Every structure is written in C-alpha cells, then in structure tokens.
Structure 1
C-alpha cells in the first residue's frame, strides 16, 4: 500500500530535528532509511529523493536490507541509496531493528528518517482517499493507527531524524527533505532555451514564450536569407536592431527572477521558447543571446533550435 498523502491538496510539520541532521554533500556512499507512520509522507519523500538522483527502493522486506546495502560501494555501484521500510512488510518488520543495528555496526554511513503525524490528520488523509489503514483489519481506522504507533514506538526512539509532517503540504515536505539531504547544486533549475517558428506552431512544453517578430526579418535581406541566426552576419543584424539588445537584457532579467521562483517551487526543468516567423533567423540569434546571458548569471542552460533546417 502506498502512502496516501501523494495528493497535493492533502496537508502533510514542524521538524523535531533540523540542521544537525543534514547529510554530507560529498561523494561518500550513503544509505538513507525512510520509515514511520503510514500516511505521514513516505511516498512523497521517496519521489523527492528520486528527483535528487537517489536510488530508491520502496516496501523492502527488512531481511533484504543487508543484501541491498551491499550495492553501495565507493566509486562504483550505487552511491546514494534510500530504502522505504514500513509495516506493509508485516511479519518481516520484526527484523527491522536488528538489520539497522547490524548496518550501524558495519560502519556504513547510514541515517534513519522517521516520519510522524498527528492521529487526527492521519485520519483526515485516509478518509480523503478512502483507503483502509494496513493494520486496520476490519476495525476502525483509528484502531489501525494506534496499533501502528505502538509497533513503531521503539524505532521512533532510535531514529536519527524525526520529521513531523502534521502541518506540511507535499511541497513543504519536499523542501524540507531537500534541505536535509541535497547538495547545493541539487536545487539548480535546468533551463532549455528553444527557438521556434510560429508558422510551425507553439512548442507544447514551453513554460514561457517570447515573440521577436517585432524585429526586422533578415529573410528580406538577400545576402542574409540563406544564412541562419547561428551565422555572425545574421546575429549582428538581428541584435543590432533598435531595441534588440535592450530586449535581450530585459528578458534575461525577467527570467532570472522567474527562475528563482521556479527553484523555490521545486520546478527543476524550465523551457523558454523564443519565436519568430520561421525559426531560422531572429529567434535563433535571440535564443543564443538570452542563453549566454543566463549562463553568465550562473544558470545551467542548453539551447535547442526546433525548426532550424525546415526552410
């Protein structure tokens, strides 16, 4: 059974441990074990870790934990492994604490994150998705929650980090996990600047669209018609027009602020589309100029010319 708080509208805390629990951001192999109350956010944590390039295994029987940890090797194999273990493992769960103790004794760099949540909020989350608690067994929902809380009592007491998700939204939880485990570069927004021709249609995946058809078209200059925005004569012609350089700078300034907002809202990939009529001259030159400006501001940027070569 998956955690039920994958629905964005369901609120999911105030961490009991914070900065002291931050994992190293170097290349030391790491094992992160995610456990805790059903409905407290384990699936969302797993999704966040996958976005940060962790290898995530969900609902692993504890007896396999030792074998899976063998995948972690310095310089090869899996460097960052996250394992979600919970009461869905049923009878296997009794072996969980023994497996954790053995891995700690082995010297492996390992942390245990325990996700908790108040009973009333857990009830709300389960009722909103109309699914039974894994330990409910025909009784009341609250009965299953209380049985699970008792079962996890010792494990909670020995966890490295307790995360109370009572007041977290799914986005709050993702931000908190990123603060705990992510390297500085993990929050970077990856930008694609795409040139295109309006005559071929808008890019389906564009997050922002700019129209540079206000600039004179090199197509009507005979010596430039056969060239593209990659060629210096065309680039000089386009960027030398009145307002062109100001537009490139202003648009880059605008996008720099927007990209900061995207980073805060955990949107890691952004496509900026810049269009002209055919996607051959003006949009190509402007896309390269805007991309260069954003790179100077420290963003990771790649450039794609969607319609170049179609004319």
Structure 2
C-alpha cells in the first residue's frame, strides 16, 4: 500500500485459538488503533466520523450481537458510512490443531463452557464457515507459530510501494491435505520426480541440483510459463477487486522436491515483476528443513 493511501479499516475474526489476539497485537504494533470485542451495534457510531487513522476491530463469537449475518450487515453499513470497504480478515485452523491448543492451555471453550473443547470448536467452525467466502484476507494458522502469524500480518498490511497486493507462494504435500487458505492450487505430481534418484532424494527443491533435474522434464518449462502467465493475468484482477492478499499453492506427493522447486521459481518471477511475494514450504517447515519465517522477496 502506498504511504498516502486512505486509512484502512480491518475487521478481524476467526475461531477461538486461531490466533486472533496475536494478529490484533501485530496490527497495533504497526500503528493501527485496535479495539477488541466491540459490540457490533456500536461500530457504526464509532465510525460515523470517518477514520482518522488505521483501525482494526477484533470480533469473535464472544462479541455482543455477533452472528455471520450481523457482521455482513456491518460490512455494508461501513461502506455507506465511510465511503470505503472494510477488509475482513478471517483466521482459520484445522479442528485438531484448535483442540490441541485448547488442551495445552486447559481453557474452556466459549461455545461449550460445560462441554469438551472439541464440541465448542465444531459449533464455532460451523458458525464461522459462512464468512469464509466474504474474506478479503484468509489465513490458515494451522502450521504457524505466533511469531509466524505476526510476520504474515506485518507482510500483508505493511505500507510500501508496489502493486498493493501481498502474494504468498507455498508448497505442500497432497498426503497432508490442501492448504485451507489457498486461492489457487497447482498440481506438480506429473513432473519428473527426484525422489527416485538416490543422490537427490535427501535434498529439497531449494537445491539447484534438484531444480535442474526437474527442469529436464520437457513439460516443466511449458507448465511453469503457463502458470506464470496465468498469475500475471489474474493478480491485477484480484487487486482491482479489492483483495489485499492472494495465496498460490503448489503440491506434489511429498512436498519436498517438485512443489518446492516450482514455488521457488514462480516466487522469483513474480518478485522480479514487482509483486510483493513471500514464500513458505509447509512440509519442509514441519521437518525443520527450511526456516519457519516467510522469506521476503
């Protein structure tokens, strides 16, 4: 975002345990005025005079008057009051991850104070599912530490020159499931697999020897170029639609070789084209084979 851009209004929501407080604190550290659990009925009064600075409102199931329908109505009212659209940031995480986080803290779930965390999580995920399609920014925190989430928020909302759209590129293994927050997913499993080369098997797609081996597949360059052309066509349209974040995912069998090499190649190309790009390798991070922090390019 350009330094002289209008002040931003962010509505931040997500299931309990997905990292809403961490994200809200990160926004506050970036200069946003933050208010947590403001009753939805009071938000129009707060915003009636316009925005004098960047503002972020934390909203969840504990917020008075909360419902997906009420939040949708609030978004429409904000557009009328301020003359600009609010950015709806939805955090999400796998149910099992949320349960583990609750078990670690031994907290009661707000949707099931007398029941198990799993019961409350199921209720909350069903309630919040209706907001997923309305999200301006959707972040899957399942594999993110609090530090990683802060870095992701800072990357997306930092004011800087450029294309005004944060692009994340990631690799993953189909064995562990699709990334929840990916806008587009590309399957790399048809490419030549370095796993079957004993000298390449221990390496990752970040190694030039692996990348060079994959590039010998005659389909590699064609695939990479077509994906790059598609993204450079689609990203401006996503930006013009008002999206603040766009996530691209590449998958292969193990998430170690082909998807990593493609993600690295595409990320470099997009960065060269002027897009603000970060890259993550989900399976490498789980195996401690890559840095946890997104690599800024």
Q: TM-score, normalised by structure 1?
A: 0.48
The alignment partner of 2:107 has SS state of coil
Aligned to 1:140: 116
Of residues 146, 154, 164, the one that matches 1:170 is 146
**Deviation for aligned residue 1:24:** 5.1
The alignment partner of 1:125 has SS state of helix
Aligned to 1:112: 88
Over 3 Å counting, the alpha-carbon distance change for 1:24 and 1:37 in structure 2 is farther
The structure having more radius of gyration, on CA atoms, is: 1
Matched, 1:80 2:50: no
Question: CA-to-partner distance for each residue in 1:126-177, whole Å, 9 max, x for gaps?
Answer: 1111101110131221110111111112122211111000000111111110
CA distance in 1 between partners of 2:54 and 2:100 (Å): 34
Q: After the TM superposition, list the runs of 4 or more consecutive aligned residues in structure 1 that deviate by more than 4 angstroms.
A: none
Matched, 1:39 2:22: no
Does the aligned pair in 2 maintain the 1:36–1:156 contact within 8 Å?
no
The RMSD of aligned alpha carbons is: 2.3
Question: CA-to-partner distance for each residue in 1:70-126, whole Å, 9 max, x for gaps?
Answer: 3534xxxx3100000110125443522211122234432420000000011101111
The alignment partner of 2:88 has SS state of strand
Does the aligned pair in 2 maintain the 1:40–1:165 contact within 8 Å?
yes
Over 3 Å counting, the alpha-carbon distance change for 1:25 and 1:153 in structure 2 is farther
CA distance in 2 between partners of 1:156 and 1:105 (Å): 22
For 1:51-130, list aligned pairs within 5 A: 51-73=29-51, 78-93=52-67, 95-106=70-81, 107-130=83-106
CA distance in 2 between partners of 1:24 and 1:82 (Å): 18
The alignment partner of 1:87 has SS state of coil
The alignment partner of 2:70 has SS state of helix
Unpaired runs of at least 5, structure 1: 1-22, 186-263, 266-311
**Deviation for aligned residue 1:44:** 0.5
For 1:93-242, list aligned pairs within 5 A: 93=67, 95-106=70-81, 107-184=83-160
Number of residue pairs matched?
162
Over 3 Å counting, the alpha-carbon distance change for 1:24 and 1:45 in structure 2 is farther
The alignment partner of 2:99 has SS state of helix
Question: CA-to-partner distance for each residue in 1:185-238, whole Å, 9 max, x for gaps?
Answer: 9xxxxxxxxxxxxxxxxxxxxxxxxxxxxxxxxxxxxxxxxxxxxxxxxxxxxx
Over 3 Å counting, the alpha-carbon distance change for 1:90 and 1:147 in structure 2 is farther
**Deviation for aligned residue 1:26:** 2.9
Aligned to 1:236: none
